[in-house]
Amino acid sequence: MEKPDGSKYILLTEGRATVLYENENQVFYNPVQQFNRDLSTCAIRAWSEEYTEQKTAAKRNQRKKRKLRNDKRKMSGKENLKTQEELEAGEDVAPTDTMEEVHVTDPKTDEVNIEASENAAKAAQSERKKAPFITILEALSATGLRAIRYGLEIPLIKTVLANDFSPAAVKAIERNVVYNDGAPGVVVAFHGDANAVMYSHKTKPFHVIDLDPYGTAAPFLDAAVQAVCDGGLLLITCTDLSILAGTGYPEKCFTNYGGMTCRTEFSHESALRLVLSSIASAAARYGKAIEPLLSLSIDFYVRVFVRVRNSPIQGKLLASKTMLTYTCSGCGSTSYQPLGRVSINEDGSQKHSFAQGPPVSSHCEHCGFVHHLGGPMWAGPLHNKDFIDRIQKITETLDPVIYKTIPRIKGMLTLAKEELDDPFYFTAAHVSSTMRCSCPPMTTMTSALLNAGYKVSATHAVPGAIKTNANWGVIWDILREWIKTNPVKETNIKEHSPTKKLLERREPSFAVDFTMHPEANPPSRRIKIARYPLNPPNWGPKARAKGDKPFNNHKITGPGSEPVPDAPNEWETGDENGEVDMKKQKTT
Ligand SMILES: C[S@@+](CC[C@H](N)C(=O)[O-])C[C@H]1O[C@@H](n2cnc3c(N)ncnc32)[C@H](O)[C@@H]1O
Ligand SMILES: [Zn+2]
C-alpha cells in the first residue's frame, strides 16, 4: 500500500495483525514489546474466561434466590411484586446456563416438549455464548497494533477503543483498522486525551483498560480505576524503572507512586509493589479493591494485570495490605511491617486496628548500621496462581509461528507461579560479598533454608535470587556456618564495617544443615524451559515519536476530537519521567 506521496509503508506483522508503518518519527512502535502484547492477549483471554464463569455462577445464584423468593411470595399471594434488586438487575455477560428457563410448548396440547426445549435451550445457549460482550479501551494506542491484535485474537470482543491524543497516531490507527480485515466494526480509532476518555466512561465502564504509556502510568491511574467495570481488568505498564527501581530519584518515586523506592537488590520487586500500591490506593478511594493477577518485571519495564472489584469492605483491607520496609544501609537486611492490622470477628466481620511497630530499632541488629525506609508499598501477593494456570493452558493452544514469544511467556509464568508470596529476595552472591566469603552454590543456600524448615523459591525478576520466609538472622547464621569451612580472610575486614559486626556473633542460633535437600532446585530448574532468556536485539525502551504532539493543527472530527484545553504537565514529561537510565537496569 502506498502513502499519499507515492512512497511505500513498511508492513509490520505481529500476531494476527499487520500494520502500515510510516516511520518512527511519526508514531511510536517498539518491536521488543511483542512479548508484552502476546502476553496481554493471553491474559485478557484468561480474564474473560474467569469473568464469564463468575458472572454465570452469580446469575445462577441470583436465579435460585429469586425462585426461592417467588415461591415464598406465591405462598403469601404477592407473586407479581418485584423487588428493587430485581428491577435494577442489569445484563452484562450473556448467561450460559439458561437451559432450565427455555420451554417449547406444543400449541395444541400446551404441554412442554422436553426434547425441543432442550434443543432450543442448547441453541440459545451456544448463541448466547457466542455473543460478543467485552469492551476494551487501549488508552494510549500509537499505531493501534495492540488494539487490532486484541480485536482479531481475543474471542467475544464487542469493541476495542484505540485512543491516542496524537493526530498522527489516530490517522495511523484508522488506516491500520481498515487494512486489517475484520478489525473494522470492532476496533474503533478515537482521538482524545486518555484521562478525558476514561473520566467520560465512569458511568459506562470498560471491561478491560490497557495503559501502555511512555514512562509512568501514574497520571492515568485515578481515571482508570473509575472507568473499569466491577470485576474488570487493568493492564498497566510503567517504563520509568530509573525512578521505581533506581536510587537516583526517591522523591520523584514518592510524587508519582506515593512510596519511596528501595535501595536494595530486590528493587525490581519493590518497583512492582510500588505500582500496585498506587493502583490500590487510587481504587480504594472509590470503594474498590484490587487483586493482582500477574505482576511482572520484564526487561526495562514493569507490567501488572490487576482485577478491580467494587468492594468497599475489601478496599478497607488496604492498610493491612500496605507495608513500610526497613533496609539496613550496611548489610541489606530487610524487615517490613504492615500499616494496619485486621482480624476477623466471630460473625465474620473485619476488625481494623493500629499496627504496632517499628519492627526494628534505629540501628540494624545484625551490623549496627542505620536503616533506610522504603514504601509504603503493596504487601499482598503479586500473582493469582489459578490465573497463571489459565494463561498457561491458553498458551498451549496457540500457534508458535504467530505467537513468537510463547517460550518466553511459558518460562516467565512458570517462575511467577513458583514464587513465594513473601516479599523480596536475596542472592547468594550479594550476601557472601557482604560477608567477604566465597559464594555458596545456590542449592547449598536453599538446602540449608529448607532443612531448617523454611520455604524457598526462585523469582521471575532476577536470575539466581532466592525468596524465603526466613528472616535475615537465619540467612546470616547460614553464612556464619558456611565460613567455618570457607574461611574469611580476617585481614580483609575493615574495622567498623558491617562485615566485622556480622562476624562477631560466631555461633548460629540453630543447627545449620547443608545436606542437599531434594527440593533445593526449584521445579522450574528441573524442566526444560527458557527461564531467563537473554535480552532480544535492540533491547530497551524507545524514544517517543516526534509526531506525538497532542491535538496539533491536524483536524480530526468525531466525538472526543475536541482539544482538551488544559493539558496536564505530564504531556511534557521531563527526562526523569520517561527516560530509563540504562546503566542502572538489570542486564540479565
Ligand atoms: C508507548 S506509546 C503506546 C504504544 C502502544 N500501546 C503499543 O503497544 O504499541 C504511548 C502513546 O501514548 C500517546 N499518549 C501519551 N499521552 C497521552 C494522553 N494523555 N492521552 C492519549 N494518548 C497519549 C502517545 O501519543 C503515544 O502514541
Ligand atoms: Zn545491617
Q: Which of 153, 179, 166 is nearest to 19 (CA)?
A: 179
Q: Going by DSSP bridges, is the β-strand pair 187-191/157-164 parallel, antiparallel, or unpaired? A: parallel
Ligand number, closest to the Cα atom of 37: 1
Identify which has the larger pLDDT, 109 or 29: 29
Residue 227 falls inside a structural domain: no
Residue 435 falls inside a structural domain: yes
Q: Residue 473 to residues 188, 365, 369, 505: CA-CA distances in angstroms? A: 57, 9, 15, 11
Residues, CB within 5 angstroms of ligand 2 (ion): 328, 330-331, 333, 364, 366-367, 369
Residue 166 falls inside a structural domain: no
Residue 215 falls inside a structural domain: no
- The model's pLDDT over 441-484, given as tens digits with 9 standing for 90+, comes to 999 999 999 999 999 999 999 999 999 999 999 999 999 999 99
Is the separation of the CB atoms in 558 and 191 below 8 Å? yes
Is the separation of the CB atoms in 505 and 395 below 8 Å? no
Strand partners, 341: 353
504 pLDDT tier (thresholds 50, 70, 90): confident
Residues sharing a CB contact under 8 Å with residue 45, sequence separation 6 or more, in sequence order:
154, 155, 391, 394
CB-ligand 1 contact for 193 (6 Å cutoff)? yes
Place of cell 478515537: 190
Q: Whose CA is nearest to atom 5 of ligand 1?
A: 141
- The model's pLDDT over 205-238, given as tens digits with 9 standing for 90+, comes to 999 999 999 999 999 999 999 999 999 999 999 9
Residue 311 falls inside a structural domain: no
What count of residues does the chain have? 588
Residue 484 falls inside a structural domain: yes
CB-ligand 1 contact for 33 (6 Å cutoff)? yes
**Considering only 36-40, 58-62, 257-261, 278-282, which range has the smallest mean pLDDT?**
58-62
- The model's pLDDT over 16-28, given as tens digits with 9 standing for 90+, comes to 999 998 876 678 8
Is the separation of the CB atoms in 160 and 138 below 8 Å? yes
Domain with residue 444: its CATH number is: 3.30.56.70
Q: Which of 386, 390, 376, 499 is nearest to 437 (CA)?
A: 499
Instruction: Give, for ligand 1, the residue of 13, 18, 21, 28 to mutate: max count of ligand atoms closer than 8 Å to Cβ.
Output: 28
Strand partners, 343: 351
Q: Residue 349 to residues 343, 344, 346: CA-CA distances in angstroms? A: 9, 6, 7
Residue 12 falls inside a structural domain: no
- The model's pLDDT over 320-375, given as tens digits with 9 standing for 90+, comes to 999 999 999 999 999 999 999 999 899 888 999 999 999 999 999 999 999 999 99
Does pLDDT of 59 surpass 50?
yes
ipTM over 0.95? The verdict is yes
Q: Going by DSSP bridges, is the β-strand pair 134-138/206-211 parallel, antiparallel, or unpaired? A: parallel
In this prediction, residue 80 carries a pLDDT of: 57
Percent of the chain whose pLDDT exceeds 90? 67
Ligand number, closest to the Cα atom of 435: 2
Residue 508 falls inside a structural domain: yes
Q: Going by DSSP bridges, is the β-strand pair 288-298/334-338 parallel, antiparallel, or unpaired? A: unpaired
197 pLDDT tier (thresholds 50, 70, 90): very high
Place of cell 523480596: 424
Is the separation of the CB atoms in 164 and 12 below 8 Å? no
Task: Tell me the torsion sign for CA atoms 456, 387, 214, 144.
Answer: positive
Other CB atoms within a 10 A radius of the CB of residue 306 amount to 23
**Which range marks the domain in which residue 459 is found?**
426-526
Place of cell 547443608: 514
Atom of ligand 1 nearest to the CA of 219: 19
User: DSSP 3-state assignment of 297?
Assistant: strand
Other CB atoms within a 10 A radius of the CB of residue 32 amount to 18
Distance from C-alpha of 364 to C-alpha of 332, rounded to nearest angstrom: 9
Is the separation of the CB atoms in 432 and 439 below 8 Å? yes
Burial letters 274-303, b for 16+ CB under 10 A, else e: bbbbbbbbbbbeeebbbbbbbbbbbbbbbb
Can you list the positions of beta strands (E) in 22-156?
134-138
The CA-CA-CA angle for residues 400, 405, 410, to 5°, reads: 90
CB-ligand 1 contact for 548 (6 Å cutoff)? yes
- Structurally, the chain folds into a number of domains equal to 1
